[in-house]
Amino acid sequence: MCTTCGCGVGQTRINGQSMPSRHRSNTRLHYRPSQSAHDPAHEQVSAPVTADHATDTLHFGTGIAGTHAPGMSQSRIVKIERDILAKNNQYAAENRRYFAQHGIFALNLVSSPGSGKTTVLVKTIEMLRDRFPIAVIEGDQQTDHDAARIRATGVPALQINTGKGCHLDAHMIGQALQQMSILDNSLLFIENVGNLVCPSGFDLGEAHKVVILSATEGEDKPLKYPDMFHAADLMLLNKCDLLPHLTFDVDLAIDYAHRIHPGLPVLQISATLGSGMQAWIDWISAGCHRAAAASQLPQHIDSTLG
Amino acid sequence: MHELSLAESILQLIEEAAVEQQFTQVKTVWLEVGQLACVEQESLRFFFAVVTEDSIARQAKLEIIDIAGQAKCGQCHRVMMIATYHQACPQCGSYALHVTQGDGMRIKELEVE
C-alpha cells in the first residue's frame, strides 16, 4: 500500500465479494534483484530460489551491440512499443464486443462527487423502465448506498467497491458482467466513482461517456478538468432548477466545455424537478435503438455503435 | 491517483515481455508520455518505485520521454503544437482542434539483462 495517500490494491469488491486480482500472472517469473555497486547493503542480496539456472550456455551476442567486448555490460534493449493502457483497452474491447452482440447500450456516467449522478439515474430509470430492460453497475469506494437507491426503483444493480481505487476499470466491468444476467437489448448504466480526473483515461467498453456538471459547481470545471470533458460525448448540466439562486453562468460553462471539446452536446436538466429530462431520454432511446439494430447485423457489429 | 494503476500496468507489460523475451532483470525503462496525457509524472515515478519493489524491475531507472502535444485546426487546417486542450488556433482563433499527437502513454523499450 502506498504510504503517502493510502491507496492500494486488492480491496476491490463486487457486491461485497472480493475480486480476483489480475495483476499477477500465473506464469512464474524468474528474476534477480538489481545489484547496486554503491550500496553495500544490496551487494550481498542472494538471488531468489526461483532464479533460472537451467541453461549452462554462455551467450555473448545478446548485448546492446549484438556482440561481446571484454568488460562491457551484457544488457540489451528490448523493444516494447505498447500502450500503457493496452491491457485495460483489451478488456474494454471484450466488454464492447459483448455489448454489441447482445444489443446492450452502455453508458459510463462520470462527474465529481455530489453532482447528482445517482439522482439523475433514478429519475432516468423511472422514465425509461417501461420501455427498455435496464441494469446498473455502481462504482464507489465504499458502501452500497447507491446500489440500494437503484434497487429501490426495481432495477437490478451491482455494486463495485473500489476500496482505495479512484476509478472503475474495464476488468472490473468484465467481472461484473459475468455476475449479472443482463437481458439482450438492455440499457446499461455504469455509474463511475465520483471523480473528474481518473475515470477519463479508462475505457470500460461503453458506447459513450456522459459527463454530469451541476450548477452548484464552478463554470470553469471543464477548463480545470479538461481530460474528462474531452473524453465525454455528452454533457448534462444538472440542478438547473437552482439557477435563479446561483451566480452560475450557463453560457460561460458551455463555452468553456466547447473550448475543450468543440461540438460537445449539452443538455440542461433538473433531475429533481424533471425539467429538461425529455431530451436526455430521447438521446438514450435513440442509442438503444441503434444498439439493438446493430446487434441484428453481425457483419457490422463493431462499426455501427457509437 | 490513477498513476498507481498505470504503474501496475507498466510492470505487467514488463513481466509479459520478460516471459516472452527471456530476461531476468530490467535496468532501464523508457516511457513515452504525451504532454496531454492524463498523468502526473512525479506521481508516476513514485508509484513505479513502489510497485516494482521486489519485482523484475526493482531499482530500474525510469526514463520519461516527453511527447509534445500536436493538433490540427478543424477550421483552417493549420497544424500546431499545443500544451493544453483549451488552446485556440493561433491563426484563426478556433477551438475546434483535433489532437494528432501527445495524448498517449506507452512503453517504448527496456534495457534488460
Angle at Cα A67 formed by Cα A62 and Cα A70, nearest 5°?
110
A92-111 exposure pattern, b = at least 16 Cβ within 10 A, e = fewer: bebbbebbbebbbbbbbbbb
Distance between CA B84 and CA A290 in Å, rounded? Answer: 34
Q: What is the mean predicted confidence (pLDDT) over A207-218? A: 98
Contact A82 B2 (CB under 8 A): no
Of the residues A28, A34, A83, A209, the best mutation for testing chain B's interface (the one with the most B CB atoms within 10 Å of its CB) is: A34
Residues A165 and A141 sit within 8 Å (Cβ to Cβ): yes
Question: What is Dmax (Cα atoms) for chain B?
Answer: 54
Give me A241's grid cell.
432548477
Confidence of residue A298 (pLDDT cuts 50, 70, 90): low
Question: Tens digit of pLDDT for each residue in A42-69?
Answer: 333 333 333 333 444 454 444 444 444 5
Instruction: Reply yes or no on whether the pLDDT at B4 is more than 60.
Output: yes
Contact B95 A262 (CB under 8 A): yes
User: How far off is chain B from A207, nearest CA to CA, in Å?
Assistant: 20
Instruction: Reply yes or no on whether the pLDDT at B101 is more than 80.
Output: yes
Q: What pLDDT score was predicted for residue A22? A: 52
Contact B1 A88 (CB under 8 A): no
Domains present along chain B, CATH in parentheses: 3-112 (3.30.2320.80)
In this prediction, the answer to ipTM > 0.95 reads no
Most confident of A27-31, A160-164, A299-303, B60-64: B60-64
- Which of residues A5 and A285 earns the better pLDDT score? A285
Residues A207 and A105 sit within 8 Å (Cβ to Cβ): yes
Residues A142 and A148 sit within 8 Å (Cβ to Cβ): no
Considering only alpha carbons, which residue of chain A is nearest residue B8? A23
The residue with cell 500536436 is B70
| Average pLDDT of every residue of chain A | 83
Question: Tens digit of pLDDT for each residue in A141-164?
Answer: 999 999 999 999 999 999 999 988
Distance between CA A225 and CA A47 in Å, rounded? Answer: 46
User: How far off is chain B from A78, nearest CA to CA, in Å?
Assistant: 5
Q: Which phi and psi (to 5°) does residue A204 adopt? A: -105, -5
Contact A76 B9 (CB under 8 A): no
Encode A144-187 in three state secondary structure: CHHHHHHHCCCCCEEEEECCCCCCCCHHHHHHHHHHCCCCCCCE
Of A2, A88, A201, the CB nearest to B4: A2
Residues B23 and B67 sit within 8 Å (Cβ to Cβ): no
Distance between CA A240 and CA A216 in Å, rounded? Answer: 9
Rg (CA), chain B: 17
Confidence of residue A124 (pLDDT cuts 50, 70, 90): very high
The residue with cell 482563433 is B93
Contact B25 A32 (CB under 8 A): yes
CA B39 to chain centre: 8
Write the single-letter amino acid at B96: A
Chain B residues whose CB is inside 8 A of the A47 CB are none
A131 SS3 class = coil
Instruction: Reply yes or no on whether the pLDDT at A75 is more than 50.
Output: yes
**Could you tell me if B1 lies within 8 Å of chain A, comparing CB atoms?**
yes
Q: What pLDDT score was predicted for residue A302? A: 53
- Which of residues B25 and A39 earns the better pLDDT score? B25
Angle at Cα B78 formed by Cα B74 and Cα B79, nearest 5°?
100
Q: What pLDDT score was predicted for residue A33? A: 46
Domains present along chain A, CATH in parentheses: 93-297 (3.40.50.300)
Q: What pLDDT score was predicted for residue A29? A: 54
Q: Count CA atoms within 13 Å of residue A280 on its CB side.
A: 27
Give me A130's grid cell.
417501461
What pairing do the DSSP bridges indicate for beta strands A187-191 and A134-140? Answer: parallel
Chain B residues whose CB is inside 8 A of the A198 CB are 1-2, 5, 38
Chain B residues whose CB is inside 8 A of the A139 CB are none
**Could you tell me if B50 lies within 8 Å of chain A, comparing CB atoms?**
yes
Query: What residues contact residue A231 under an 8 Å CB cut-off, 6+ apart?
Result: A200, A201, A209, A211
Contact B6 A84 (CB under 8 A): yes
**Could you tell me if B91 lies within 8 Å of chain A, comparing CB atoms?**
no
Question: Tens digit of pLDDT for each residue in A186-212?
Answer: 999 999 999 999 999 999 999 999 999
Q: What pLDDT score was predicted for residue A92? A: 97
Give me A101's grid cell.
452482440
Considering only alpha carbons, which residue of chain B is nearest residue A196? B38
**Could you tell me if B100 lies within 8 Å of chain A, comparing CB atoms?**
no
Question: Tens digit of pLDDT for each residue in B39-49?
Answer: 889 999 999 99
Considering only alpha carbons, which residue of chain A is nearest residue B89? A259
Chain A residues whose CB is inside 8 A of the B15 CB are 25, 29
Give me A188's grid cell.
446499461
Confidence of residue A14 (pLDDT cuts 50, 70, 90): confident
Residues A162 and A202 sit within 8 Å (Cβ to Cβ): no
Confidence of residue A20 (pLDDT cuts 50, 70, 90): low
Distance between CA A85 and CA B5 in Å, rounded? Answer: 9
Q: What pLDDT score was predicted for residue A290? A: 96
Instruction: Reply yes or no on whether the pLDDT at A238 is more than 90.
Output: yes
A142-176 exposure pattern, b = at least 16 Cβ within 10 A, e = fewer: eebebbebbbebebbbbbbbbbbbbbbbbbbbbbb
Of the residues A31, A43, A87, A255, the best mutation for testing chain B's interface (the one with the most B CB atoms within 10 Å of its CB) is: A31
**Could you tell me if B62 lies within 8 Å of chain A, comparing CB atoms?**
no
pTM for this predicted structure: 0.80
Distance between CA A154 and CA A129 in Å, rounded? Answer: 9
Q: What is the mean predicted confidence (pLDDT) over A168-181? A: 94
**Could you tell me if B96 lies within 8 Å of chain A, comparing CB atoms?**
yes
Contact B9 A85 (CB under 8 A): yes
